[in-house]
Amino acid sequence: MKIFYLDTSSSYLSTGIVENDHIIDQVFIKLDKDLSSFTLPKIDEMFRKNNIQPNEIDQIIVVNGPGSFTGIRIGVTIAKIYACFLEKQIKTVSSLEAMARSVPEDQDYDYVLPMIDARRGYVYGAIYDKDGKELKKESYIQKEALEHDSLLENKKVIVITNDSIDTKYPQVPYDLNLLRVVEGSYDKPFISPHAIDANYLKKTEAEEKCQNSTN
C-alpha cells in the first residue's frame, strides 16, 4: 500500500511516499514565499523520479495545521482535490502531532511540547507523551501558560520546534520522522475529501472583533 504524505504548514515543503513501512522517497525543502509556486512541481518531480503515477497512491495523509494559514491551504487544497478526484482515502494529521512523533529516539524525556510560533507571545502548542498520546489538547496559547501547565510538574520535558522560541525547557529541532508519523496515523479515521478542512486553531481577527462586540 502506497501512502502519500504532504505538509506545507510552515515555510517548508515536507512530502514523501511510504510503502509498507518503507520510505520510497522524501523531500524536505525550504520554500518560504515560493511554497505556492514549487510545491506541485516538487511533488511531480518526486513521482516522476520514482516512476509512480498519481493513481498508484492508495492513501493520502495531509497535515492540516496549525501553522501558516496560507501554507496550510496550499497542502490541504492539493490533498483534498487529489483524494476527491482520484477517489483516494484521506486522513489528516496535526502539525503538532507530527512534531511530537518526530522527537529523536535517543532523547530522554517524559513529555514533549511541540511549539509553532504564533507571534506576540503566543504559540500553537500541545502536550504529548512519549507514545504520541495528546495529553493537553492543541491550542493557540500564551507560551508561558503552556510552559507552566500543571501536567508538566515533576516531569522531564522537552520542546520540539523549528522556530526561534525561548523556553525554559531543553529544545530539539524538528526533523520529520515520516515512518513514525505514518504509523501514528494508522488508527485515525478516514475523512470524506469534501470535509477535509484546514485546522487554524484561531479565528480571524474580523470574527474575534465581531464576537467581542456581541458579548
C-alpha closest to that of 162 among 32, 34, 52: 32
Residue 191 as a binder of another protein (CB under 8 A): the answer is no
As a whole number of angstroms, the distance between CA 83 and CA 160 comes to 30
Residue 50 as a binder of another protein (CB under 8 A): the answer is no
Q: Which is nearer to another protein, 23 or 210 (CB)?
A: 210
For 199, residues 6+ apart whose C-beta sits below 8 A from its C-beta are 64, 65, 66, 72, 92, 94
Q: Which of residues 20-39 bind another protein (CB under 8 A)?
A: 36-39
Q: What is the DSSP letter of 155?
A: S
Residue 69 as a binder of another protein (CB under 8 A): the answer is yes
Task: Give the helix/strand (H/E) hosting 79.
Answer: helix 69-85
As a whole number of angstroms, the distance between CA 79 and CA 193 comes to 8
| C-alpha count within 13 angstroms, C-beta hemisphere, residue 156 | 5
Q: Which stretch binds another protein (CB under 8 A): 16-24, 79-87, 130-138, 179-187?
A: 79-87
Grid coordinates standing for 170? 531543553
Task: Give the helix/strand (H/E) hosting 45.
Answer: helix 35-49
Residue 120 as a binder of another protein (CB under 8 A): the answer is no
Q: Which is nearer to another protein, 150 or 214 (CB)?
A: 214
Pick the binder of another protein from 145, 204, 208, 211 (CB under 8 A).
204
Pick the binder of another protein from 17, 46, 62, 78 (CB under 8 A).
78
Q: Site for another protein (CB under 8 A): how many residues? A: 32
Residue 70 as a binder of another protein (CB under 8 A): the answer is yes
Q: Return residues touching another protein (CB under 8 A).
A: 36-41, 43-44, 54, 69-70, 73-74, 76-78, 80-82, 84-86, 193-194, 197-198, 200, 204-207, 210
